[in-house]
Amino acid sequence: MSHAISIVMPAFNEAKNIEKAILDFKNIPEVTEIIVVDNNSTDGTAEIAERTGAKVVKEPRQGYGYACRRGLSEATGDIIFLVESDQTFFAKDIYKFLPYLDDFDMVLGTRTCKQLVKPGAKMGWFLRLGNIFLAKMIELLFYEHEVRLTDVGCTYRAIKSRALKKIIKKFEVGGNHFSPEMIVEAMCNNLKIVEIPVHYGKRKGESKITSNFRKSFILGLKMISLILRKRMKYAFRKK
């Protein structure tokens, strides 16, 4: 079965990485469009992306979640991939996702398989354990959906367009804690979800999200708060 694949790349000041990231995914024959969401970059990211052949859209509201939501809304493929614009994800892993999309609505990547994490990648013990903890928190609080998770922060994920239409208007998060919101909304709207291991590489430049312990810790607290709020929302909806 052939697929029309849209690639969505949120980008904020990724001039060092964006060209190679785009070219990597352009080499996949099934990819029909690459959408770079320029989230107020000041280093020429948008210009490089356009020159490399991507469709560039602007998202003036600052925040990773806003950029993801804008890109997802612009995508036209029947399968939509969210990826990073910093070369940390490998385009060839698309072929791992596609077979699972025959049976599932959304396929999530996980970076917790040590054999696939490259030397120098930003996945130390704190981030690894933090993501596992949050994943198991979602499993416990939303146990009725029976989804197994190990990495809520991995943004390499694929979703069918018809499935995305069921949840895209439910997104509320504009910040870096968008990733678990997408997972929880998919679960609570009865999408079929599975998680698979993906390669994770070293990026050029400093991460905007997890560059130090303090940022990572604060982001973890935001994710915990989000998960609890979503549990309350859907608990009351059932009653």
Domain positions in the chain are 5-238
SS3 78: coil
Amino acid 50 reads E
* pTM beyond 0.85: yes
- The tokens describing 119, both together, are 């030397």
Average pLDDT estimate for 72-98: 96
Is CATH 3.90.550.10 what the domain over 5-238 is classified as, yes or no?
Answer: yes
Place of tokens 């994710």: 223
- Of the given ranges (22-36, 38-52, 195-209), which has the lowest mean pLDDT? 195-209
Q: Using alpha carbons only, what angle is made at residue 41 by residues 37 and 45, rounded to the nearest 5 degrees? A: 70
| CA distance linking residue 187 with residue 157, whole number of Å | 14
Amino acid 96 reads K
Instruction: Name the percent of the chain lying above pLDDT 90.
Output: 80
| CA distance linking residue 167 with residue 191, whole number of Å | 9
pLDDT at 239 over 50: no
